[in-house]
Chain A
Amino acid sequence: MAVNPLLGLSIGELGTKIRSGETSPTALARAAIEALDSAGRELNAVATVMEDRAMRTAERAEAELASGHDRGPLHGIPWGAKDLLAAVGAPTTWGATPYRDQVFDFDATVVKKLEQAGAVLVAKLAMVELAGGMGYEELDAAWTGPGRNPWDHDSWAGGSSSGSGAAVAARLLPFAIGSETFGSIVTPASYCGVSGLRPTYGRVSRYGAMALSWTLDKLGPLARSAEDCGLVLDAIAGPDENDPTSVTRTFHHPAPDGRRDDFRFAIPADWKEGSEAGIVDNIEASLETLREIGTVEEITLPDMPSGQTARIIIASEGASAFEDIIEDGRVMQLRAPSCRVKPHVHSMIPARDYLRAMRVRRHVSLAYDRITAEYDAIVGPTTGNVSPLLTGTLDRSSRPTTSAPIGAPGNLAGLPAIAVPNGLGDRGMPTSLQFTGRAWTESRLLAIASEYQARTEHHKAAPPS
């Protein structure tokens, strides 16, 4: 079944067509449901299609617009939620067999906020089981099967927000929400060739989202462009009494006085290490584009044990979050053989090691706050490789987000980052440019990424049909 090409448009373009009567919220919801039920399932990108809820919400959105009640740019736009967000009307499986029948009777705050903005939730999207927190090595680590990449169905969509990346890239949805503890938004964005925004820790409420690592989990959008990521973040950002780590800082997109040039960029001196040749070529081309809107300086990043620190924190917090299934043995129902074993070790990490990691983390955060304060963004490849073939495994010694220059410290310090497509590399698969900024500078990162996308066409490239 052919996918309705309207689903490949940006949020702004769809909004114009909805308001001109060229399409409607119900027509878009119906198109998205059909696309997800066919092409989405071929990609293993779908956990549950929420037809009843979607059509009810779309009908309401349509009636509101007809009566002159316009909720803004997301009104009537279909979207998908990573299946770790609680939502009434569908199971919330966390990608894992032990939770296949789990049902919540409330909406996660992000779901609620998007509904208040008029967006139409159409589906729960597939994900790596338990967001990858059990240390998966196998690329089919989800009850939905391996997340297939729309650019090549024999390649991986990335993890852990695999369905979010694949559904947006395949033009089945204009945007989706993913989560990132350690690379889970930017990696599928990179592999699938879409824009993905990891907000500052605390910018978006985590209430109703599966907890893997309380001090590292973030929720953010994957979308067609940086502009669309900004529109979505505008709807979901803000304080929430149900999440004490959410902050009251305001975020508005577009920023009222957003700077458009004269940016200062830094790139780590060793950024080419571990990167494929096609990725190096594309980043060098991207740097030329960035020099049109600013300066690029090479810097040397501090030698800190960021990867090891993150690893100990995620394993320790994850073992606590999932203590019940480790203790009662349901962890043995997980799909990935590695995930059936490693949590037993995670649960034995001494408190001393966890606390040391959290003490070292403070040093990492302070060091990277000093670095990011000097520049508008640290740039580099989002991942050092293009999407791997599904026949492979995840080599933990060269994990994509750790090979990216600032992946581990960026997550430890809770820094925002945006990944945007910057060309095609090996096997014709997408490559990605990442901008990481100081905490709370999403507006600047979005302005930079939007300027980059105004000068390039990579974000408009669609997978071969």
Chain B
Amino acid sequence: MSSNSGNNPDIPPMALAALARFGDRLDDAQREVLIKTAVQFEEAAEDLRKWELTNGDEPDTSFKAIEGQDS
């Protein structure tokens, strides 16, 4: 699988990227788990893409500048 995975359209890009970077430390069974995990995350991301967002919808993060001392 490892030698052909780059050509397999059923393997999500996340899995291809992970295999390219970390594949040499994984055996075949682990690669299967990795691909399955990537498919699940692709599906979750796809579910989120169905949720309509507008340009004004900001991410729910709050950033606060550090209140340093005046120089």
Query: Contact residue range for chain B?
Result: 20 to 34
Given A345-B18, A353-B45, check contact A360 B30 (CB 8 Å): no
Indicate if the CB atoms of B51 and A345 lie closer than 8 Å.
no
Q: Which residues of B contact A355 (CB under 8 A)?
A: 59
| Whole-angstrom CA separation of A362 from B51 in the bound complex | 12
Interfacial residues of chain A within 199-224, with CB under 8 A of chain B in the complex: 215
Q: Does B48 contact A (CB under 8 A)?
A: yes
Name the residue in A315, A344, A360 with the highest tally of chain B Cβ atoms < 10 Å from its Cβ: A344
Do A345 and B48 touch across chains, with their CB atoms under 8 A apart?
no
Q: Are B64 and A363 in contact (CB under 8 A)?
A: no
Main secondary structure of the interface of B (DSSP, over half): helix
Residues in A whose Cβ lies below 8 Å from that of B14: 345, 348-350
A356 and B34 contact, CB distance less than 8 A: no
| Interface residue B33 (Cβ < 8 Å from any Cβ of A) | yes
| Interface residue from A244, A245, A311 paired with B44 (Cβ < 8 Å) | A311
Return chain A residues, CB-CB under 8 Å to B41: 311-312, 315, 345-346, 349, 353
Are B57 and A363 touching (Cβ within 8 A)? yes
Q: A135–B50 Cα gap in the complex (Å)?
A: 24
B61 touches A348 (CB 8 A): no
Residues of B within 8 A of A340 (CB): 30
Q: Which residues of B lie under 8 Å from residue A363 when comparing CB positions?
A: 51, 57
B33 touches A341 (CB 8 A): yes
Whether B15 pairs with A345 at a CB distance below 8 angstroms is yes
**Contact flags (1/0) for A292-335 with B, using CB distance below 8 Å?**
00000000000011001101100100000000001001001000
Distance between B66 CB and nearest chain A CB, rounded to angstroms: 8
A361 at interface, CB cutoff 8 A: yes
Overall SS of chain A's interface: helix
Bitwise interface map of B from 26 to 41 toward A, beta carbon under 8 Å scored 1, else 0: 1000100110011011
A332 near B18: Cβ-Cβ < 8 Å: no
Task: Mark each residue of chain B from 51 to 68: 1 if its CB lies under 8 Å from any CB of chain A, else 0.
Answer: 101000111111010000
The answer, among A245, A332, A356, for a CB contact under 8 Å with B25, is A332
Chain B residues, CB < 8 A from A4? none
Chain B residues within 8 Å of A357, by CB: 48
Minimum C-beta distance from B71 to chain A (A): 20
Q: Measured between alpha carbons, how far is A312 from B18 in the docked complex, in Å? A: 16
A345-B45 contact in complex given A360-B51, A363-B51, C-beta closer than 8 Å: no
B58 lies within 8 A of A362 (CB)? yes
Name the contact of B34 in the complex, choosing from A332, A345, A350, A358 (C-beta under 8 A).
A345
Identity of the chain B residue whose Cβ is nearest the Cβ of A307 in the assembled complex: B44
- A–B pairs, 20, beta carbons within 8 Å: A215-B60, A215-B61, A305-B50, A308-B44, A312-B48, A329-B25, A341-B26, A341-B37, A345-B38, A345-B41, A349-B14, A349-B41, A353-B45, A356-B48, A356-B49, A358-B59, A358-B61, A359-B57, A360-B51, A360-B53
Closest 3 pairs between A and B when the two form their complex, measured CB to CB: A358-B59, A308-B44, A362-B60
